[in-house]
Amino acid sequence: MKALDIKARIPYRLHIGQNLLMCDELLQLCHKMRRHIVIITDEIVAQYWGNTLLKHLNAHLPRVSLLSFPAGETHKTRETKAFLEDRLFELGCGRDTCMVALGGGVVLDMAGFLAATYCRGVPVIYLPTTLLAMVDASLGGKTGVNTPFGKNLIGTISSPHSVWIDVSTLKTLPESEWRNGFAEMVKHALLRDESLFHALCDFKYEINEPLCDKIATNLAVKKEIVEQDETELGLREVLNLGHTIGHAIERIENYGISHGEAVAMGLLVESYISVRLGLLQESDLSCLMSLLKKFGFLLKTTAFEPISRFMAVLTLDKKSRAKVPRFVLLERIGCPYQKNGSYAHPVDEQILLEALKWAEVNLK
């Protein structure tokens, strides 16, 4: 088992390995807590992993319960949070509760927020079960829910007690979900680690030690970034690489496209802009395109047509200033472009239009 210690206002440790869900260390930890353990999960993960975990913990601990809610982003709401809070009260859960969040990013964000406010705060242990949650959502302390006014608008920044990344749970994860995590791994490599970028060329949807290594390297990238900027004042902006364009694609497609697909195309368009500005090499852009194609990204959208609509949606991005969108750009693979202390830059309108035309032709 590998471990990674995160420095935060309240520090925590991430553990990475195979078969961790049933390991003695996790059981001992739950035992030592001397609390009512409540597994929070979604209905799909409950079927695959939650019920087995419940049985296992129940065989060894006095008080264990499981609460589930319907799977999917549309259930990451204030209503679901209130529903779970009411069930917790019915179970008689008080301050001596410890939550165990078992699932993808939706479950982690929901359970993290729930734990941060339930009885003014109880501990939560994260057990991520999607690649995306393993390499992204389990680190950084962001929790929260969506509202009709936008995504992740209500929430906290708070540390989990600890994170246990059991890659064996990926056995049941559909390939399309693996790709969502893979897109974020590519993003991390582009930002900080050229050797990881090349190592990703041999990535396989297989559960083994090399997978644990790649997840650990990825987390090390995110760790370095969030530790320097826990409250998102500067450097953390770089994590938006590929997301300015990606979010606009998602909005125009009415979220009918997966986040990974949208981010993959965002990485390409934003890399194209970097090439046009004389920063990134053209060969790096081709290399990125082949990597994404190799892993089954379709790289197709009708969102760029018409370009005027795309431009209008871009101005709604949360990084925009005075309606001018800002982009994270790459100086080279492994290094984001920094100017005047900032990592998000406005781009000349002509170059932006040219990039969107390139996207219209190459991503359809």
Ligand X SMILES: NC(=O)c1ccc[n+]([C@@H]2O[C@H](COP(=O)([O-])OP(=O)(O)OC[C@H]3O[C@@H](n4cnc5c(N)ncnc54)[C@H](O)[C@@H]3O)[C@@H](O)[C@H]2O)c1
CA distances from 145 to 73, 149, 268, 301 (A): 9, 11, 29, 27
Can 259 be counted among the known catalytic residues?
yes
Cβ-based nearer residue to ligand X, 343 or 358: 343
> Which SS3 state, helix, strand or coil, does residue 338 take?
coil
* Interatomic CA distance for residues 4 and 220, integer angstroms: 8
Please give the residues from 195 up to 234 whose contact with ligand X meets the rule CB under 6 A: none
Q: One of 142, 188, 276, 319 is an active-site residue; which one?
A: 142
Q: Is the Cβ–Cβ distance between 42 and 69 less than 8 Å?
A: yes
77 scored as a contact of ligand X (CB under 6 A): no
Output Rg (C-alpha) for the chain, integer angstroms: 21
Can 293 be counted among the known catalytic residues?
no
Can 15 be counted among the known catalytic residues?
no
Task: Give DSSP secondary structure letters for 78-95.
Answer: HHHHHHHHHHHHHTT--T
274 scored as a contact of ligand X (CB under 6 A): no
Closest by CA to 6, choosing from 216, 238, 283, 292, is 216
Residue of 68, 97, 180, 274 that binds ligand X (CB under 6 A): 180
* H or E element at residue 65: strand 64-69
Minimum CB distance to ligand X, residue 124 (Å)? 12
Minimum CB distance to ligand X, residue 168 (Å)? 9
Q: State the residue number with the nearest CB to ligand X.
A: 105
Cβ-based nearer residue to ligand X, 49 or 358: 49
Q: Which stretch binds ligand X (CB under 6 A): 24-32, 85-93, 159-167, 169-177?
A: 169-177
Please give the residues from 26 up to 45 whose contact with ligand X meets the rule CB under 6 A: 42, 44-45
Closest by CA to 38, choosing from 68, 9, 16, 14, is 68
* Interatomic CA distance for residues 130 and 177, integer angstroms: 7
Can 60 be counted among the known catalytic residues?
no
101 scored as a contact of ligand X (CB under 6 A): no
Minimum CB distance to ligand X, residue 260 (Å)? 8
Please give the residues from 108 up to 127 whose contact with ligand X meets the rule CB under 6 A: 109
Name the β-bridge partners of 330: 336
133 scored as a contact of ligand X (CB under 6 A): yes
Q: Is the Cβ–Cβ distance between 145 and 80 less than 8 Å?
A: yes
Active site residues: 120, 142, 184, 222, 232, 236, 240, 243, 247, 259
What is the binding site for ligand X (CB under 6 A)?
42, 44-45, 48, 71-73, 76, 103-107, 109, 129-130, 132-133, 136-137, 140, 142, 152, 169-170, 172-173, 177, 180
